[in-house]
Amino acid sequence: MRDKNYKLLGSIYDEEYIDLVFKLRYGCDIYSDQVKPVLNYKSIALLLKRSPSTVRSHCLKAVQLKQLQMNSQPKRQSKFLQKHIDYLINEKTLKYWAHFSLDQRATMFHRQFPELKISAQSVANIYKRNGSRYKGVNRIKRVIDFTQPFYRNNLNYIYDQMQRAQQNNIKFIHSDEAVFTFNTFIQKSWYKRNSNIEVYDQKVKVQTMAILGGISEDAGLETYIIHPRSIKTEQYIKFLEQLREKYPEQEIILFVDNLSVHKTKETRKSYEQLGITPVFNVPYSPQFNGIEFYWGILKGHYKKLLLYHLMHDLPIDTVDFIKSSAKRVDNQLAQKCAKEGRVNVYKQVLELSQ
């Protein structure tokens, strides 16, 4: 007995033929997920020895059949159950999603419950109805337990590489990215008791820039790259090439954090081709990477330049400010920053050995 949808296919051609046309057109059968066309109607017509218009009509009929098949499937659940609400307001979920926006929370909810889609506003409404409020977060600094084998081994490896660099005239470079953004509006200031201070917000558009740099104990600031918003793999590889160009013969050890851009396929390939050994820092341990101290000093000079230009209505150029700030930081100070990172590693290793 013929299927009830068979009438859509016409009285001349059977379902196998229509399925063949659909496969040639989309590269899959009628009951698979439809993708972009693979062949045009003219090419299919040449293969089947039919006219392009005929092939087109047959493909349209096949699409109609697919649509009917999809409509016959059970619809997604569109009603909230108590388990959905319990999941959203659960303390564990709220803590895990603390950094997420409402849109991101809606997306994460859909991943957990694919049968149900909700909007960001729906998430907010559920929170409000169940006693949750938008409030400040008490930040707790994460403390690494270096007695755990993973962290201890990571720390010991960093220590060994630092020792190897010092004993064998190897260039050991502390490297990291820093983002320079702009927010001049103050949140708090000194003022008379029981009175509020009102100041005009200075609306100034400053492009967010990222800088990738490296410092060492013997040379201070080695080199840097400035790029809008964030550093991508392309800029990171360019930075590696600059280091190799500066030290064509000397072995280089690059001390970096665990950012994904430092571990991509292209990046690992560049490490190997350029002969640069990457050493990855212990997670949540910026005190070991000396360039973190350097960025703090650099940003201090940057803010002074920025505020001076604001107060005197002078043009603002973020890239120029970063370059000027880098020149203002004494090279000996950059060397001390690199040394400070190494000393912190040594102190932690010594503490573990006692």
- CATH code, residues 152-186+203-353: 3.30.420.10
Burial of 74 (0-12, 13-18, 19+ CB in 10 A): exposed
In angstroms, the CA 202 to CA 74 distance is 55
The pTM of this model reads 0.63
Q: Are strands 276-280 and 220-228 parallel, antiparallel or unpaired?
A: unpaired
CA distances from 282 to 146, 160, 213 (A): 9, 14, 19
C-alpha torsion 9→15→20→23, nearest 10:
80
Strand ranges across the sheet with 276-280: 220-228, 209-216, 171-180, 252-256, 276-280
Q: Secondary structure of 105-126 in the HEC alphabet? A: HHHHHHHHCCCCCCCHHHHHHH
Rounded CA gap, 106 and 87, in Å? 12
**pLDDT of 281:** 97
In one letter, which amino acid is 288? F
- For the chain, which residues score pLDDT lower than 50? 1-12
CA 27 to each of CA 34, 244, 271: distance values in angstroms, whole numbers, following the listed order? 9, 48, 40
User: Which pLDDT score, from 0 to 100, does residue 70 have?
Assistant: 63
Instruction: Work out the number of other CB atoms within 10 angstroms of the CB of residue 2.
Output: 9
Tell me what pLDDT residue 220 has. Answer: 96
Within the chain, all domains assigned CATH 3.30.420.10 are found at: 152-186+203-353
